[in-house]
Amino acid sequence: MFLAACLAACGEHPGNNSVNIPREERGHHAAADLNLNTREYFEAPGINVLAFSNAPGGLFYDAKTSGVEIIQRGERIATNGDLRLLHTPEQWDGMGRLIERRADPEANRIETRLEYPEHNLSYRVDTRAQGDKVEISVHLDKPLPEKLEGKAGFNLEFLPAAYFGKTYLMDGRGAIFPRHPRGPMRFDRDGRTEPLPLARGTELVLSPENPDTRVTLRELSGENQLLLFDGRNKAQNGWFVVRSLIPAARTGRVIHWELEITAEPGWLRTPVITYSQVGYHPQQPKTAVIELDANDTPKARARLLRLTADGETNEAFNAPVNLWGNYLRYQYATFDFSAVTRPGLYRIEYGSQLSGPFPIDTNVHRQTWQPTLDIFLPVQMDHMEVREAYRIWHGRSHLDDALQAPPNYEHFDLYAHGPETDSRFEPFEHIPGLAIGGWYDAGDYDIRTQSQYHTVRDLVRAWESFRITRDNTTVSQSKRLVQIHRPDGVPDILQQIEHGTLALIAQHRALGHAIPGIVAAHLYQYPHLGDGATKTDNRVYRATLDPFASERRVGKMYLPSTAAPPPERRVLSSDGNHSGEFDDRWAFTSNTSALNYGSAAALAAASRALRGYNDDLAKESLETAVNVWEYESHREPNRYRYGNTTGGRLEEEQLGAAVELLAATQNPRYAQAVRQLLPQLHDRFATNAITLAQALPLMDQAYAETLQQLTRAYREQIREYERENPFGVPITRGGWAGAGSVIDFGNTNYWLHRYFPHIVEKDLVFRSLDYILGQHPGSNLSLVSAVGVESKLVAYGSNRADFSFIPGGVVPGVLVLPPDFPENKENWPFFWGQNEYVITVGASYLFLANAVQSLLEQQADESTL
């Protein structure tokens, strides 16, 4: 079934026993010697050195989770130790391909073979522990290709945030790590800009003053030098890079380094008390999960302390700590204080550890979703100016949307065209009508259609389920203006639904079908940070205009102020809306059946929510959704797929359209479609349970009985999560962390509890929200920025270069790095797989938070009967 298949696909093995590794096998040693443990990385007290535990590349290519890596005192400080072709490679620059990895415990060695097939270059990286040091060597069977001489070298990247405010020694000469990039730059021989080293020599000591981050690197061959670069000169997400160039015309061992990392015999990671950073409703379960070093000895008891008005604390509860077992690299214990229901402020005491303060109160969940609706979603609104009091989050962006993307083109960010564009527009011709509505998909300003329609559907579900009438924002589509903290008499959630719907309907108006999306065309534009209004000139591209001429207005004409161009370029624009700058975003326009159904589902859902607010848009949305269903019903499905931009599984997208159209029209033809699709979805019930449950009130008894059977089986599968980790939720493995999966798990359980409360208990819904709000591996931060006492305040939004956050944004959260390291960096926003906001998760979180509050209010009402 679904859960078992997911666990198998992710490399998981159900059952707590699968992660109980005896302490003696964990590489725990009294001395500081590094030894290869059973999980195939080198370990000493306070030190782990990984060697290609994760294959190079990762999600979206250079994810900085590969090669030789260093974890020191529980924090990953170095990565990407590998042969690279640039001093400071950026995200899309080449990486070697892993061919083979072999661990040899007897020799205390890991050997990896890799290649750059496009350069006919193969190589071997050997990582060997010798006592308390690690030797790294690179071996070539053939000399470097001539074109790579002076370019290929061995790199090891160090996290800048770990070394802010610290120093280094290069051959005994001291210097301070720059907090802001300011290293020297030059043009290389190919005309590209490249950094020059901050320092060079044969021995580099990073952070000599602090053993928590002290690492010594030595070049042992006597022929090469260690070069220290600041990769942030090229890109804000760059790291400090230590590098040695590979000598020309050499074979055999061409690089020979020694790493000395400061160990600490007897070192134990400080226990982490994980709990909900917003607190608890008196009637909900309250269990703290305590994360402990694998070699720690759990305490017998913990206490709940109640805070008084003068700052003193009194014991409110005292109970045994229950040892749960091992998960990943840590052991876990639990402290259940559900018996405490008295309102007030509390802290948890475990040994010498004291949690932050949190309330127990009936109001704790009433506002947890408001920053998402009030701030995060408005800030993500494209084609609008967004103002918050004195602050302009961004101006009116992408008013030049969009140019037709060409055929037979593969974009660098999961968009592509085959031979057909399914469009009447010529390549690079402007498609009118697309500069309206939509949200920035994430930190990259895309209008990804799948994200848009999933967000609209979740917002409609929240509106229909909870009637969220909060009005704290002014939205004017005619003025393209959003003003946060200024009510305008309309529920904000309806205006957000309208904004997403406008982007979806614009595609059907302009092209007659849903499209994969709209995205920056050029790599230099794509990683743009800051105000979205500065990403393009907001003027529609016209090829006949001079991109280099500045403009001055003469009456109603625009003339170049430079030397006169050819006559056909002399008049730049008659209305100021065109330019010769080829900076407009591109629209990828493939007409896929999955996208059409997904878009139709959102349009049908929006038609219900928008009635009485924007009746014209509601009517057009429903008519369009019905027409899409008719169109797709009378053609062979177009199954073109590329990346994650061409729709989900066809049968699942079709189900969504059928259910939303059924709810909007009550037409039995859609109920029949749901019945016909149901058998195809049994094995993916968990993924589709919300949509299937939505249809229950409109379906027959046989349908309800089938769903009840599937729900029983699903509840049994959840026990696999409960055995696998102490949080009892699906913790995914892969390049993108799983906060969204945990939220979906909670929302699924809400819908199934709604109709089958005797099978799916409401505590499963609370469990997901607790995880998002701080009860998860690695730390106890709330994964929702500005929600909870301690939350994610350095995240991957459009303002990530400022090391800041967008209130209400939800980060992906805890990324499990192979083989066993849970990580969510709090001081480095540029890990997209851990820290990038996306609109879909924001909308689904908004639903979950309201679902929890609804269940608690219902429970309170029932208790008074």
Q: Is the pLDDT of residue 7 over 80?
A: no
Q: Tokens 């998760």 label which residue? A: 841
What mean pLDDT do residues 814-841 have? 96
Residue 569 scores a pLDDT above 70: no
Averaged pLDDT, 102-126: 97
3 state DSSP class of 325: strand
The two structure tokens encoding residue 573: 């624009």
Specify the DSSP class assigned to residue 669. Answer: H
User: Quick one: tokens of 810?
Assistant: 């939800």
| Residue 258: alpha-carbon gap to chain centroid | 35
Alpha-carbon gap, residue 707 to 705, rounded angstroms: 5
Question: 379 is written with which tokens?
Answer: 């800030």
On the question of pLDDT at 670 being above 60, the answer is yes
Beta-bridge partners for 447: 518
Alpha-carbon distance values, 322 to 308, 428, 724, 778 (Å)? 28, 64, 16, 19
Whether 109 shows a pLDDT value over 70: the answer reads yes
Q: How confident is the model over 683-704, as pLDDT tens digits?
A: 999 999 999 999 999 999 999 9
Classified as helix, coil or strand, 591 is coil
pLDDT beyond 50 at 164: yes
CB of 847 closer than 8 Å to CB of 465: yes
| Residue 4, beta-bridge partner list | none
pLDDT at position 860, please? 72
> Are the C-beta atoms of residues 275 and 348 closer than 8 Å to each other?
yes
pTM, two decimal places: 0.93
* Cβ atoms within 10 Å of 702's Cβ, excluding its own: 9
Nearest Cα to Cα of residue 724 among 255, 332, 391, 455: 332
- Triad 676, 682, 683: Cα angle to 5°: 135
**3-state SS assignment for residue 547:** coil
| Strand residue runs (E) in 23-178 | 35-36, 42-44, 47-51, 68-72, 75-84, 97-104, 109-116, 121-130, 133-140, 153-158, 167-170, 173-176
Residues 83-93 have pLDDT tens digits of 999 999 998 89
**Per the structure block, which two tokens stand in for 221?**
């061959």
3-state SS assignment for residue 340 = coil
Tell me the mean pLDDT in the region 429-438.
98
pLDDT tens, residue by residue, 195-243 = 999 999 999 999 999 999 999 999 999 889 999 999 999 999 999 999 9
User: 3-class SS at 827?
Assistant: coil
Which helix (H) or strand (E) is 593 found in, with range? helix 593-610
pLDDT digits (tens, 9 = 90+) for 629-668: 999 999 999 999 999 999 999 999 999 999 999 999 999 9
Cα–Cα distance measured from residue 407 to residue 411, given in angstroms and rounded to the nearest whole number: 11
Contact 733, 816 (CB under 8 A): yes
Instruction: Using the Cα atoms of residue 542, residue 544, residue 549 and residue 555 in order, give the sign of their dihedral.
Output: negative
Give the span between the Cα atoms of 246 and 151, in whole angstroms: 8
pLDDT confidence bin for 865, thresholds 50/70/90: low
pLDDT digits (tens, 9 = 90+) for 456-469: 999 999 999 999 99
d(CA 143, CA 153): 13
Give the residue among 102, 99, 151, 146 at the shortest CA–CA distance from 122.
99
Query: pLDDT tens across 36-58, in order?
Result: 999 999 999 999 999 999 999 87
Asked if 373 and 846 count as a contact pair (C-beta separation under 8 A), the reply is yes
What's the angle, vertex CA 295, arms to CA 292 and CA 296, rounded to 5?
A: 50
Unique residue bearing structure tokens 């500005």: 786
Indicate the SS3 state at residue 701.
helix
d(CA 277, CA 678): 40
**pLDDT score for 313:** 95
State percent of the chain over pLDDT 90: 86
Distance CA 605, CA 461 (A): 8
Q: Which of 66-70, 357-361, 569-573, 743-747 has the lowest mean pLDDT?
A: 569-573
Paired tokens of 713: 């089986």
At residue 548, the pLDDT reads 72
Helix or strand holding residue 692 (H, E): helix 685-694
Q: Strand pairing of 481-484 and 385-388? A: parallel
Structure tokens at 355: 């949690």
Separation of alpha carbons 801 and 794, rounded Å: 10
Strand 551-554 and strand 557-560: pairing?
antiparallel
- Cα angle, residue 766 at apex, residues 763 and 768 outer, rounded to 5°: 115
Tell the residue number behind the tokens 């290293």, with chain if given.
183
Give the span between the Cα atoms of 845 and 784, in whole angstroms.
Answer: 9
pLDDT value at 740 more than 90:
yes
Place of tokens 């040693």: 29
Of the chain, the end-to-end C-alpha distance in Å amounts to 40
Q: Please state, in angstroms and rounded to a whole number, the distance separating the CA atoms of residues 33 and 263.
A: 9
Identify the band that residue 806 occupies on the pLDDT scale cut at 50, 70 and 90: very high
Summarize pLDDT for 243-290 with one digit per residue, the tens. Answer: 999 999 999 999 999 999 999 999 999 999 999 999 999 999 999 999
**C-alpha 352 chain-centroid distance:** 34
Q: What confidence category does residue 617 fall into, taking pLDDT thresholds of 50, 70 and 90?
A: very high
Q: Do residues 409 and 417 lie in contact, with contact meaning Cβ atoms separated by under 8 Å? A: yes
For the record, the structure tokens of 87 come out as 């001093």
Residue indicated by tokens 């980790």? 725
Instruction: For the chain, give the mean pLDDT.
Output: 92
Residue 542 pLDDT greater than 50, yes or no: yes
CA atoms of 428 and 172, how far apart (whole Å): 57
Domains of the chain: 31-261 (2.70.98), 272-360 (2.60.40.10), 367-543+580-665 (1.50.10.10)
* Lowest mean pLDDT segment, chosen from 5-14, 73-82, 719-728: 5-14
Helix axis angle, 593-610 to 492-511, nearest 10°? 140
